[in-house]
Chains A and B, each alone.
Chain A
Amino acid sequence: MSAVAPEWVRPGPTVNPEGSRSARARLVTLALIPAVILAAMLGLTTGAVAMTPWDVLRILTGQLDDPFLHEVIFNLRLPRVLVAITVGAALAMSGVALQGLFRNPLADPGLIGVSAGAALGAVAVIVLGTTVLAPLVLPLGVLALPLAAFAGGLATTWLVYRLASRGGHTSVATLLLGGIAINAIAGAATGMLVYMADDQQLRTLTFWNMGSLAHAGWTLWAVSAGFVMLALAALPFIARALNGLMLGESVATHLGFPVHRIKTLVVITAALAVGASVAIAGIIGFVGLVVPHLLRLTIGPDHRYLLPASALGGALLLLLADALARVIVSPAELPIGLLTALLGGPFFLWLLMRQQGRLG
């Protein structure tokens, strides 16, 4: 560089306190990949029918031809594991995106009402899909449920964002209070729809508030996974911009980022991911809060690493939680939303206590 730079800009010897952190970030992100694969294997082997990893591998590759085990793997456990990966990645990723947008580590799709809005959209399709909303829902077929969840998530994200940010600043108090109000409104509307529902619809709905990975079929999973892939494709665009946004919207503008376009993209990305996960698994809280926070402590806040690492971490967390939910009350199973709330709730309290001085 000395060939092009004049003498006065030639720097001297350097320190680089950041080097070790980005090396660690890369290492942690890479290490999460085998961890997710191992956890997926754990999910495939755990359950009422005992199986060794070797059996699972042979069934997956078609070498072991046992119709019963084949049925268990392909119709029960594999969809479940894939759903856990999709939902975990989607929730953690949208958590990071929303936290970056609001510039606050307390933004979580469940807390600020995005999940509730998405659930309202989905419940409306289930209850009213054959009557009032039929002209809208029937032509969309299997897409109706995730699309409605996406629309509900989009509307609430936009509303919360409009509420909480004024002139480039975000008020945390307004954000959380707005989240409470939106959760209450969406909850009440969902409750009214549940009240109107018939018995069969009720059975479909019961898992919604607690969250469950057990009810998704292959089709719904494939559609929702498509949504999540769309959101994943947007990540490279927003990672650098979210880094710029960490110093505030006006600084990001000064650094040459098209801030308005980026905010729109982040809102749509988060709503896509949350909509997809709510459509297949109902409301699962705290994943979007816990995973990014822990990873930020480990690898720092650089979104180029934080976004992919959180997607992997979310998948890992949900795979492990699902395996646990199936083991503790075996042969029955705990709704996974209850489990994440049981673990995530105390974590959130701890976070609040640590942040006491700065929350304002």
Chain B
Amino acid sequence: MIASILHGRWPLPASWRLTAGQVPTTPSSGSSCTGIQVRDLWVERQGRTLVDRANLDLEPGNVHALVGPNGAGKSTLLSVLAGETRQNHGQVTWSGRPLDDWCPNALARCRAVLPQEAVVTFPLTAWEVAKMGRLPHRTPEQDTPIVHECLKRAGVLHLSGRDYRSLSGGERQRVQMARVMAQVYETGPQRPGVLLLDEPTSALDVRHQLRLMELLRTDAARGRAILVVLHDLNLAAAFADRITILEGGRVADSGAPRDVLVPATIRRVWGVDCVVETDTHTQCPWVRLRYGASKPHCELESLP
């Protein structure tokens, strides 16, 4: 009794509970998270339009890259999908049901979000941070092997006993990645789950960037839907099934890497010149920026 109270189980109606272990009000597990549709999404904050009539389809089994200049609304779009920010207009549907109809806990058990940064002020070990991903679940006996496996896949198992705050930026990012993977771990082939990742490679060295993207590909092959914000166009070209380019809150283009990554679009959106070649090994598009040929530095200030 005392143990169950300590773990937040309390004899009250489910709607009164304040912990993450609520009884899901969702339909059968087989139908959860089979795809996300974003229609006419419009987000405005303090008089500024952050997302402007955006459409997006996130399919199971796909790695979907979201690219665009700084401040294009990528993170805002992601946080709407995560249920954190509310849109002013438009609709987000998960498996055909509006996002608002989902019980937050049921959502948390099949969808995980990697934020750009997470500040930790308490002396948590890397292991404990990764284990946070298990909070929405009621599976104490499975938590240890799952957290172990996820830390291993993220390549940070050797850091599990270290204080999270003493880790380097890239190591922290990988620990957070382990936390995210632990959150949707046992969803399995029947319930592949959704990952929303905001710049997961920003602090990683090239080796770990590749390892992470390969990890995402393996996950997608098992039916997981993955939306990933990236800045490296070549990573997106090599690993994404679809690329959506955001510019000033609008979708500038969306489609297969080969169709989207063309010099004209890149010049229009980012203001840089490039040539797009084909990688002889992977047959993926390869964006080669032309240094010195883009607009001079002094003009950067006046870019839109």
Name A's B-contacting residues (CB within 8 A): 1, 5-6, 8-9, 11-12, 14-19, 103-105, 169, 236-241, 243-244, 246-248, 250-251, 253-258, 261-262, 265, 296-297, 300-302, 304, 308, 358
Q: Is the CB of A237 within 8 A of B10?
A: yes
Taking A237-B8, A237-B19, A256-B136 as contacts, is the C-beta distance between A17 and B108 under 8 angstroms?
no
Apart from A9-B185, A254-B108, A255-B136: 17 A-B pairs, beta carbons within 8 A: A17-B161, A19-B144, A103-B119, A239-B6, A239-B8, A246-B120, A247-B118, A247-B129, A247-B132, A250-B115, A251-B115, A254-B115, A255-B133, A256-B107, A257-B18, A257-B135, A308-B6
Check: B225 CB closer than 8 A to any chain A CB. Answer: no
Q: Is the CB of A105 within 8 A of B188?
A: no
Q: Is the CB of B6 within 8 A of A253?
A: no
- Distance of A358 Cα from B129 Cα, bound (Å): 19
Interfacial chain A residues near B5, Cβ < 8 Å? 236
When C-beta atoms are compared, the residue in chain B nearest to A234 turns out to be B18
Contact of B104 among A9, A240, A241, A257 (CB under 8 A): A257
Distance (Å) between the CB of A213 and the closest chain B CB? 29
Check: B30 CB closer than 8 A to any chain A CB. Answer: no
- Distance of A297 Cα from B163 Cα, bound (Å): 12
When C-beta atoms are compared, the residue in chain A nearest to B142 turns out to be A1
Q: Is the CB of A236 within 8 A of B135?
A: no
When C-beta atoms are compared, the residue in chain B nearest to A301 turns out to be B122
Check: B69 CB closer than 8 A to any chain A CB. Answer: no
A-B pairs with lowest CB-CB distance, top 6: A256-B108, A11-B145, A14-B148, A11-B149, A17-B161, A256-B105
As a 0/1 sequence over residues 125 to 146 of chain B, the CB contacts with chain A under 8 angstroms (1 = contact) are 1011101110110000110111
- Distance of A256 Cα from B113 Cα, bound (Å): 11
Q: Is the CB of B146 within 8 A of A8?
A: no
Chain B interface residue count: which class?
Answer: 35 or more
Q: Is the CB of B189 within 8 A of A6?
A: yes
Taking A236-B5, A243-B132, A255-B183 as contacts, is the C-beta distance between A15 and B18 under 8 angstroms?
no
Interfacial chain A residues near B132, Cβ < 8 Å? 243-244, 246-247, 251, 255
- Distance of A40 Cα from B118 Cα, bound (Å): 43
Interfacial chain A residues near B118, Cβ < 8 Å? 247-248, 251
Q: Is the CB of A5 within 8 A of B188?
A: yes
Name B's A-contacting residues (CB within 8 A): 5-10, 17-22, 79, 82-84, 104-109, 111-113, 115, 118-125, 127-129, 131-133, 135-136, 141-142, 144-146, 148-149, 152, 157, 160-161, 165, 179, 183, 185-186, 188-189, 222
Q: List 6 A-B contacts (CB under 8 A).
A: A14-B144, A103-B122, A237-B10, A254-B83, A255-B108, A296-B122
- Distance of A268 Cα from B7 Cα, bound (Å): 21
Contact of B125 among A1, A17, A253, A297 (CB under 8 A): A17
Contact of B84 among A240, A241, A250, A301 (CB under 8 A): A250
- Distance of A106 Cα from B255 Cα, bound (Å): 50
Interfacial chain B residues near A254, Cβ < 8 Å? 82-84, 108, 111-113, 115
- Distance of A239 Cα from B17 Cα, bound (Å): 12
When C-beta atoms are compared, the residue in chain A nearest to B165 turns out to be A358
Interfacial chain A residues near B157, Cβ < 8 Å? 15
Taking A243-B132, A247-B120 as contacts, is the C-beta distance between A256 and B189 under 8 angstroms?
no
Q: Is the CB of B20 within 8 A of A261?
A: no
Distance (Å) between the CB of B144 and the closest chain A CB? 5
Q: Is the CB of B160 within 8 A of A15?
A: yes
When C-beta atoms are compared, the residue in chain A nearest to B149 turns out to be A11
- Distance of A253 Cα from B165 Cα, bound (Å): 22
- Distance of A246 Cα from B124 Cα, bound (Å): 9
Q: Is the CB of B188 within 8 A of A6?
A: yes
Q: Is the CB of A12 within 8 A of B149?
A: yes
Interfacial chain B residues near A308, Cβ < 8 Å? 6
Q: Is the CB of A258 within 8 A of B104?
A: yes
Distance (Å) between the CB of B43 and the closest chain A CB? 15
When C-beta atoms are compared, the residue in chain B nearest to A237 turns out to be B18
Q: Is the CB of A17 within 8 A of B127?
A: yes
Taking A15-B148, A105-B121, A254-B108 as contacts, is the C-beta distance between A236 and B10 under 8 angstroms?
yes
Distance (Å) between the CB of B105 and the closest chain A CB? 4
- Distance of A250 Cα from B75 Cα, bound (Å): 12
When C-beta atoms are compared, the residue in chain B nearest to A308 turns out to be B6
Task: Name which of B18, B21, B111, B128 has the most chain A CB atoms within 10 A of its CB.
Answer: B18
- Distance of A237 Cα from B19 Cα, bound (Å): 6
Distance (Å) between the CB of A332 and the closest chain B CB? 41
When C-beta atoms are compared, the residue in chain A nearest to B150 turns out to be A11
Distance (Å) between the CB of B13 and the closest chain A CB? 13
- Distance of A253 Cα from B136 Cα, bound (Å): 11
Q: Is the CB of A18 within 8 A of B125?
A: yes
When C-beta atoms are compared, the residue in chain B nearest to A20 turns out to be B161
Q: Is the CB of B149 within 8 A of A265?
A: no
Q: Is the CB of B19 within 8 A of A241?
A: yes
Q: Is the CB of A304 within 8 A of B6?
A: yes
Q: Is the CB of A256 within 8 A of B109?
A: yes
Q: Is the CB of A253 within 8 A of B123?
A: no
Interfacial chain A residues near B19, Cβ < 8 Å? 237, 240-241, 257
- Distance of A12 Cα from B5 Cα, bound (Å): 32
- Distance of A258 Cα from B135 Cα, bound (Å): 13
When C-beta atoms are compared, the residue in chain A nearest to B136 turns out to be A256
Distance (Å) between the CB of B180 and the closest chain A CB? 9
Q: Is the CB of B122 within 8 A of A246?
A: yes
Interfacial chain B residues near A8, Cβ < 8 Å? 222
- Distance of A246 Cα from B106 Cα, bound (Å): 21
Distance (Å) between the CB of A246 and the closest chain B CB? 5
Q: Is the CB of A300 within 8 A of B20?
A: no
Interfacial chain A residues near B222, Cβ < 8 Å? 8
Interfacial chain B residues near A14, Cβ < 8 Å? 144-145, 148
Distance (Å) between the CB of A99 and the closest chain B CB? 8
Q: Is the CB of B18 within 8 A of A258?
A: yes
When C-beta atoms are compared, the residue in chain A nearest to B162 turns out to be A17
